[in-house]
Amino acid sequence: MRTALVTGITGQDGFYLAKLLLDKGYHVIGTFREKIHTLNLSMDPLQDKVEFIYFDMFDQRNIASILDEYRPAEIYNLAACSSGAGMFVDPVGLAEVNGLAVTRILEAIREVDCKIRFCQASSSEVFGAAVESPQTESTFSNPRSPYGAAKSYADSMVRIYRQHYQLFACSAILFNHESPRRGLGFVTRKITHEAARIKLGLSKKLHLGNLDARRDWGFAGDYVHAMWLMLQQQNAEDFVLATGELHTVREVCELAFSRLGLNYRDHVFEDPLAFRPGDELTLIGSAKNAYAKLNWKPQINFQQLVQMMVDSDLFELKKLNLESMSNE
């Protein structure tokens, strides 16, 4: 039984990765940063199958001692401070968690066991104000936010430890990826959740930023599968993971509301004050390298993704409503 250590396991990607690894027979170790730990509700179905441990990403000795004790075959670093609207919040914290902590993990691997395989969850935000489109593994890094800059630094350190110390270390450059377990702070989930609330009469209006902002959106479950494939290769290599398709926020609204028999124009209002910096810049990835070398392609398309999220939100809200009625 192989052991995999997953940081950031209580997030969206952590759930899908943990499920994948458990299905493949791994012993999965999930880390948390706080000593008093509350599981994300998304982990509930898996929490009895995962071993949870305290892992201090700011403490080099703690990281090395964890690796020495558990000797994982694979490490997936999903832990990160917020993307989305949080990309400009707390630049120092972003640099520590999204950047320097990655170097600490790499150094701990070098110190304890150079055979441990490491996958870093990077981001399309490393391309920022992209110099070419679509973006590939060779596109120049040009971040426009503290979040993107920290991720870019981490990618650089992954390459250095791979080339100079011969570690099996790679970065998965993830474009936007969503699921029913996406946080409510992200626009896709905000739309699907609020659409379901409006359908149930719990809300009437949804205020959003730029409806014409375009993104390359895929399904989180597909992307973590690619990360697993990356660690099964003979040689470590960075990969862009993307759909290569652009869709607008408006399209998400159209699909979500129509799924519920509603017209988004009756409920969605564009708020200029909610526009995000950089919304006019478009990031779209080319995953041709992943297609060719990993034999990987997204299995869930854009329409299926939005419908999946709407259906899940509607189901969960109905369940909560029934539970509250039964408790009255």
Count of structural domains within the chain: 2
Q: In this structure, what CATH number is given to the domain that contains residue 134? A: 3.40.50.720
In a domain, 118, yes or no: yes
* Domain coverage including residue 153: 3-178+217-241
C-beta separation of 240 from 175 below 8 A: yes
Residue count of the chain = 328
R_g of the chain, CA atoms, integer Å: 20
For residues 268 and 226, state if they share a domain: no
In a domain, 288, yes or no: no
Query: Of the listed 76, 147, 223, 264, which one is catalytic?
Result: 147
CB atoms within 10 A of CB 132: 12
Query: Of the listed 83, 122, 123, 124, which one is catalytic?
Result: 123
* pLDDT number for residue 303: 98
C-beta separation of 191 from 206 below 8 A: yes
C-beta separation of 81 from 90 below 8 A: yes
Residue type, 236: A
In a domain, 285, yes or no: no
* pLDDT number for residue 263: 98
Q: In this structure, what CATH number is given to the domain that contains residue 266? A: 3.90.25.10
Residue 76 designated active-site: no
* pLDDT number for residue 131: 86
For residues 229 and 192, state if they share a domain: no
For residues 80 and 192, state if they share a domain: no
For residues 158 and 306, state if they share a domain: no
For residues 28 and 95, state if they share a domain: yes
Residue 123 designated active-site: yes
For residues 55 and 90, state if they share a domain: yes
* pLDDT number for residue 46: 81
In a domain, 63, yes or no: yes
Q: Look up residue 232 and give its DSSP letter.
A: T
For residues 269 and 222, state if they share a domain: no
pLDDT, block means (10 residues), the chain with 328 residues: 94 95 97 60 73 92 97 96 73 93 98 98 95 95 94 98 98 97 94 98 95 96 98 98 98 98 97 65 92 98 98 95 69
- Phi and psi at 40, nearest 5°, equal -65, 140
Residue 137 designated active-site: no
For residues 98 and 221, state if they share a domain: yes
Query: Of the listed 74, 125, 178, 254, which one is catalytic?
Result: 125
